[in-house]
Every structure is written in C-alpha cells, then in structure tokens.
C-alpha cells in the first residue's frame, strides 16, 4: 500500500506560505480599484472566484514590476524584495493595472451596448439587410432579462403576477427591476385608486403597502397579464362606439 505520509522537507516553508499570501494582495487591490471606478463598489464575485482572478492579475503585476527591476520572480524574491523601491513600483503597477482593467471593462460594456446597432448599420450598407433581420430574431443573454425588459417597455399596459418560493402570489405593476448583480423586482400600485393585491384563499385581496420588493432568491414564477385599466378603457371605447 502506498504511503501518503509527507516528510518535513516536502511541506511548504514559512517563506513560501508568506509569499503565497503576499502574492494575492496586488491583484485583489487592483481589481477592486477597477470595480470601484466602473461600478462604484468593490468587486462582486464569490470568494473562490476572487482568489483565482486575483492571483492571475497579480502574476501580471509582479511580472511587469520585477521585470522592470530585473528581479527573478520566485517565492523568496517576493518576500525578500519587499523594500522601499520594489514596493513603490508594485503600488504604481497595482494602480496602473486597476485603471487598465477599468478601461477594458468599460470599453467592453460600451461595445456590447453599441456594437449591435453599429454592426446593423454597416450590414445594411453592405446589402445584408435580410440576413441581419433574420439574425435579430435571436435574443442573446438571459430569457428572464429579455422578458422583464419587454414588460418594462409595456409597463403601463401589463401587470405582473409574481409567485414567491413560499407560495405567495402578488399582483401589481412593474415599478423597477435590476438584473445585475441580482435579479430583483419591485411591484407597485397600478394607480392611486388601485392597490397592490395578494392572492389569499383563492381571492385577490388589496394590500395597504404601496410597493413590494421581491429579491432574486424569492422568485419562483413571473406572469404577465393585461392591465385591468387597459381592459376597462377598451370596454369603455367599445360601449361608446355602440352608442
């Protein structure tokens, strides 16, 4: 049977453990700088993802910093070279790479937002209108996001029925929604004269609340129905036409 016992020489030294911890810091700070510049908040990732991405970003920072100082990148050099000059270079590289990451992220967001319209205009000029119209029928991203954005565009005509994970049903108009970092829905009163409603024992009951916030983790299903005000307006229009 194979023995899995490790000798003392195979265990990481204190220097290697310390270097492993120090190596994480520049990348983590740099990515938080980028996130704060673009989003106005710290990096929103799971901790395991933060660790992996921070180490990769730290590798770039240390490579650039140590290469400029002509220092070999080893666990020993990471700890022994933390003197004034290398620290100043690391700090500058951390801030610089944070700004670069922010610019790349911002440009990427702008391209994703403006790119389709620009590509469509160019394709029309090249005579590819039919192909572009066919491709535009396909939606990218989350179906839930597309559905809620469609409801938002028609929020004065449609109402929502949202079922929570606890089995409660709420009916109202879409007052606000967020997609990133979480999908949250704010239901509001359709009008001053009509209240939010909850399904209680098979009947819709008026609520005293003006709005209800339903976070992502509590949403089971979302249904869109024609607004009752829209139905009443159509009925009144039909009656006036008959008269």
pLDDT of residue 237: 45
Is the pTM for the entire model greater than 0.75? no
Tell me where in the chain the CATH 2.30.30.100 domain(s) lie.
Answer: 143-242
Query: For 41-96, how does the pLDDT look when each residue is reduced to its tens digit (9 = 90+)?
Result: 877 778 888 888 888 888 888 888 888 888 887 777 777 777 788 888 888 999 99
Distances (CA, A) of 14 to 11, 17, 76, 87: 9, 5, 10, 21
CATH (one of 3.40.1350.10, 1.10.8.50, 2.30.30.100, 2.130.10.10) for 143-242: 2.30.30.100
Count Cα neighbours of 161 within 13 Å in the Cβ-side half-sphere.
12
Q: Rounded CA gap, 96 and 102, in Å?
A: 10
Mean pLDDT of the chain: 77
Q: Which residues contact 209 (CB under 8 A, 6 or more apart)?
A: 196
Contacts 24+ apart (CB under 8 A), 52-59: 53/27, 54/24, 54/27, 54/28, 55/23, 55/24, 55/27, 56/27, 57/26, 57/27, 57/30, 57/31, 57/97, 57/101, 58/23, 58/24, 58/25, 58/26, 58/27, 58/28, 58/30, 59/27
Q: Please report the pLDDT score of residue 206 as a whole number.
A: 92
Higher-confidence residue of 101 and 131: namely 101
pLDDT at 169: 94
pLDDT digits (tens, 9 = 90+) for 108-142: 777 766 666 666 666 667 666 666 565 555 555 56
Q: For residue 176, how many C-alpha atoms fall within 13 Å in the half-sphere facing its CB?
A: 7
Mean pLDDT of 142-154: 75
Predicted confidence at residue 9, as pLDDT, reads 53
What tens digit of pLDDT does each residue of 186-210 get? Answer: 898 888 888 889 999 889 999 988 8
């Amino acid at each position: 049977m194979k023995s899995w016992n490790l000798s003392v020489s195979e265990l990481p030294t204190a220097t290697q453990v310390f270097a492993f911890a120090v190596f994480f810091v520049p990348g983590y700070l740099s990515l938080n700088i980028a996130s704060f510049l673009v989003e106005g908040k710290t990096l929103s990732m799971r901790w395991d993802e933060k660790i992996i991405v921070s180490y990769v970003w730290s590798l770039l920072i240390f490579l650039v910093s140590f290469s400029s100082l002509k220092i070999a990148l080893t666990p020993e050099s990471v700890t022994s070279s933390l003197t004034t000059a290398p620290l100043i270079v690391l700090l500058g590289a951390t801030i610089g790479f944070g700004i670069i990451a922010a610019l790349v992220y911002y440009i990427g967001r702008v391209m994703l937002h403006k790119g389709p319209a620009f590509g469509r205009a160019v394709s029309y000029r090249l005579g590819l209108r039919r192909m572009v119209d066919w491709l535009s029928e396909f939606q990218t991203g989350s179906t839930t996001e597309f559905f809620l954005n469609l409801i938002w565009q028609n929020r004065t005509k449609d109402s929502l029925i949202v079922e929570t994970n606890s089995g409660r049903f709420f009916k109202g108009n879409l007052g606000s929604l967020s997609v990133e970092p979480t999908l949250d829905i704010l239901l509001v009163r359709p009008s001053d004269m009509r209240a939010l409603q909850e399904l209680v024992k098979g009947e819709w009951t008026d609520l005293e609340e003006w709005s209800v916030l339903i976070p992502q983790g509590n949403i089971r299903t979302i249904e869109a129905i024609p607004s009752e005000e829209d139905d009443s307006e159509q009925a009144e229009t039909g009656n006036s036409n008959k008269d």
